[in-house]
Chain A
Amino acid sequence: MTTAAAHFDAAQDALIASGAWHVDAAAALPRLSGHSVRVLDGAAITQLDTNGAWLLLNAVRPRASDPLPELRGFQPQHLSLLNLVAQHAAVTAAAVEAQQPGVLEATGLGAMALWRNFSGLVNFIGQLSIELALLIGRPDNWRWRELGAQVNAVFVGAIPIVIGMMFLLGVVFAYLLGDQAQQYGASIFVVDGLLMAILREISPVIVAVLIAGRSGAAITAQIGTMKVNEEIDAITTLGLSPLAVLVIPRMIALLIGLPLLVFIGDIAGILGGMLVAHLQLDISPHLFLERTSSVLELKTLLVGILKGPVFAVFIALIACRMGLSVSRDARSVGANTTSTVVQSLVAIIVLNAIFAVMFVQLDI
């Protein structure tokens, strides 16, 4: 196969091309720098395809509205190919690149997107409330099987990772706290601090973050993919409500699962702390539990566990809404899944801060 070559003959204003003209031949084109070409000589061209033909035509005729130069010496099949390409060449004029928005415009677009997101969430809550109101009193219409499957996915599947993470956090927290308390001979107060921190703050927040990443992302990806495959449309056409079939079971599963997981996390964290107290501070498990029963108030436990349902509602709302607002392409499934995790984490942190202030104000 001969490689493509081309040179400009200034005497005849002719571009003389030879060899095999494929898409890779672009480099063989000479610089014409303003010369107008009146003749295109293709007698020595051995192979020509549409890409090669377009490259030659584009070189001799930068604007498709210009007249075609004289085509000289081409083989008949090459000539018909050139004519075919020339017919369609008008649409290939270089497009104007879209301008990137400036800082001000980007800020405005971002603010509008944020507003749409917020108003969409409010709208979604409204629809969901109507749907829930319709379902109350009609237990036959509840999706019990779907609810069971979701509880299994959200709660049972998350137990090992919750135990593992909270146990290690209990170990780390007790170790650092013990290191400080030991210097003042106040080792026993490690138990007080540990109980307060694990039950009230660490376990609810960490478990909620974990579930937002694990179940929230899964819910968005699943509902989003169903949307792409028109499964949501199929559910609607069958006379069912996607909210009742998909959203409500997931929300209730999270409502059930998250407080239970927080409680499991509480126990795992305390066990981790107990291990460190025994090994580092010589506080035996017996002494640890005795101290626990004398300082632990029920409200400390309840405050932590009752944060669970609130976090659960927000994770479910955000994850389901982002899933249902996927547009019909693969990229938006990924973008919305990311958005679910980010929004859920922000919601958890903000809600936790509100709780902290509220509990102090209420003297709880």
Chain B
Amino acid sequence: MSSHNVIEVQGVSTTLGGKSIHRDLDLSVARGEVIALIGGSGTGKSVLLREIIGLLRPQAGHIRLFGHSVWDSTPEQMNLLRRRFGVLFQDGALFSSLSVEDNVATPLFEHTELPHPLCRQLARLKLALAGLPADVSAKRPSELSGGMRKRVALARALVLDPELLFLDEPTSGLDPISARAFDKLIRLLADSLGLTVFLVTHDLDTLFSIIDRVIVLSNGRVLGSGSVAELKQIDDPWLNDYFAARAPNGETVHGN
């Protein structure tokens, strides 16, 4: 069974600046799932994401991606692992001194031996898949709107055709229309490319529209995991407030 799990987190404990963030935390994500990680501010969602992608070392515990340990790999093994997942950072983290096209092509420049014009062609394909018009490819990131920058960042995360995609608050800072369009795009790509998606979000609409399973972090542990309907059965003050935030038009939700 465990071989089907793309992400496995076992017994992870984290202390940052003397404050305990995670205590003996376990979670796993199976291949093909679209998973959302939610939790109140300061519950360590982004910290957990950074630990899973190998940017921050937890004090204790094991993290495995595709069955390979993230923190016990040699740098070469880790680089091979990095080719298999893509990350969309919260503010896009585009390289401001490169054109949009070169931003997307950078992973290809670094990880493959393809000639650069070919890399740029593949980058333009990914920009088109991310729903961007052809004329953005020569622009600088600073000339684009926030929603377009997110799409460029998504194209960059997808350019090596990863099996696993990490998204840190993909819809934050977008207007509701762009946010829903971005949600649909993620679901479309996940279905057509067979991706596993792990996203950290605050956006209730994202949860209700495209997510297979939600994982709730609270007090340094996983409070619960399951569909939105299952999570509503859990009696937790934060979770109750969280779902109540959508109460005014909650009827459509109950109807589902």
Contacts and interface: CB of A to CB of B under 8 A. Distances in A.
7 contacts: A49-B161, A52-B161, A88-B125, A92-B121, A94-B117, A330-B97, A332-B97
A92 B124 contact: yes
Nearest to B160: A23
Nearest 7 pairs between A and B by C-beta?
A: A331-B97, A329-B96, A49-B161, A88-B128, A91-B134, A92-B121, A328-B142
Interface in A16-36: 22-24, 26
Contacts of A89: 125
Q: Looking at A52, A58, A84, A92, which has the most chain B CB atoms within 10 Å of its CB?
A: A92
- Most chain-B Cβ atoms within 10 A of its Cβ — which of A49, A51, A94, A328? A51
A88 B121 contact: no
B126 interface: yes
Contacts of B137: 91
Interface string B165-179: 000000000000000
Given A84-B192, A329-B140, A22 B161 contact: yes
A95 interface: yes
Contacts of B124: 91-92
Contacts of B120: 95
Interface of A: 22-24, 26, 49-52, 54, 58, 77, 80-81, 84-85, 88-89, 91-95, 228, 327-332
B81 interface: no
A92 B112 CA distance: 18
A88 B127 CA distance: 9
A327 B129 contact: no
B129 A88 contact: yes
Contact of B128 (A51, A91, A94, A95): A91
Interface string B155-197: 0001111000000000000000000000000000000111000
A330 B103 CA distance: 14
Nearest to B161: A49
A215 B79 CA distance: 40
A92 B125 contact: yes
